[in-house]
Amino acid sequence: MADTHLIDGKAFAERLLAEIGRQVADLKAQHGRVPGLAVVIVGEDPASQVYVKNKVEKTKIAGMHSVHHVLPADTSQADLLALVEKLNADPQINGILVQLPLPDQIDEAAVINAIDPDKDVDGFHVVNAGRLATGQEALVPCTPTGCLLLLKDRLGSLSGKSAVVVGRSNIVGKPMAQLLLRESCTVTIAHSRTRDLPAVCRAADILVAAVGKAQMIKGDWIKPGAVVIDVGINRIPAANGKTKLVGDVATQEAMGIAAAITPVPGGVGPMTIACLLDNTLTAFRRQMKKG
Ligand code: NDP
């Protein structure tokens, strides 16, 4: 049985964050300006609050300007759109992130598409999705970007490889597939209606799981020697009466079969925030260029 390499996303993300911090310090020294990120959260979803706190902290550590808006759960769509407009017009703000999910009274697509596409650091705006799909300069969603960085670090060129992405959401599955296509992989997108998913997965040199179902992808679904990226974050009961986080892949079963796999936690998760700050830096540079 071959050894399976555990891909250390935490260490990779720390290196990326340190590099972003260096670039921000250079910008400050040269231009007297730093990138600014505004994070907006509506309501008190505990998981979202943890993510937002983490994003704000990392933004400050990187030396960026950080603004954090916490709105009550009953905020109207009109009030949220007014805030987005204000941030669009604020020259100190280069990136805007509205934390999802939003409460039921708010149309998520309307809010995302109200963000200036050049400040859409989540890359969810329909203009950025279109730019990515047509090979133009885009802001690309952070989680798939993080997955791609890990894959390229591990494999170098991805050209010609068979890649299977399980999941077709707008925030992970679809942009992941676009990025892999851009790297000249042969891409299959699988979803809940896919027939014989184990056989589809077994054909993959690169298998990306973005489903949201704990340990659904079994060891014998994995092609020997494949590189597996586990995006899933699922909380399940643990032996000690507490809970623990697991991915969409049965990691223990994958050991000895896959060539490499991202653990959960410590794999893809930390890359998402690092890529968010990287997108903010990119947005800042592009806005400076435009003047
Ligand atoms: P969604 O719920 O939006 O999408 C899930 C996808 O999985 C859908 O396309 C769905 O298919 C597919 N699916 C569901 N059940 C099956 C099944 N039995 N067989 C095959 N496909 C199935 O989830 P997200 O894309 O937002 O997130 C996916 C996972 O990634 C979650 O666990 C989430 O927590 C995690 N995540 C992690 C991040 C990180 O930073 N690490 C960031 C974002 C998400 P269909 O379209 O047919 O319904």
pLDDT digits 0-9 by tens, 84-102: 999 999 999 999 999 999 9
Average pLDDT, stretch 48-52?
85
Q: Is the CB of 171 under 6 A from ligand 1?
A: yes
Assigned superfamily of 141-269: NAD(P)-binding Rossmann-like Domain (3.40.50.720)
Q: Where in the chain is the domain with CATH 3.40.50.720?
A: 141-269
120 is catalytic: no
CA distance 27 to 13: 21
CA of 168 to the centre of ligand 1 (A): 7
CA-CA distances (angstroms) from residue 153 to 35, 127, 227, 271? Answer: 27, 29, 12, 13
223 is catalytic: no
CA distance 19 to 45: 32
Q: Where in the chain is the domain with CATH 3.40.50.10860?
A: 32-117
CA-CA distances (angstroms) from residue 287 to 3, 75, 94, 126, 291? Answer: 46, 30, 7, 19, 6
| pLDDT over 80 (residue 1) | no
Cβ atoms 177, 165 nearer than 8 A: yes
CA distance 289 to 280: 14
Q: Is the peptide bond before 270 cis (omega within 30 degrees of 0)?
A: no
| pLDDT over 80 (residue 2) | no
Question: Where does the pLDDT of residue 49 fall: very low under 50, low under 70, confident under 90, or very high at 90 and above?
Answer: confident
55 is catalytic: yes
- The residue nearest atom 15 of ligand 1, judged by CA position, is 192
Question: Where does the pLDDT of residue 176 fall: very low under 50, low under 70, confident under 90, or very high at 90 and above?
Answer: very high
Q: What is the pLDDT of residue 52?
A: 87
- The residue nearest atom 35 of ligand 1, judged by CA position, is 232
Cβ atoms 228, 219 nearer than 8 A: no
- In this structure, which topology does domain 32-117 adopt according to CATH? Rossmann fold (3.40.50)
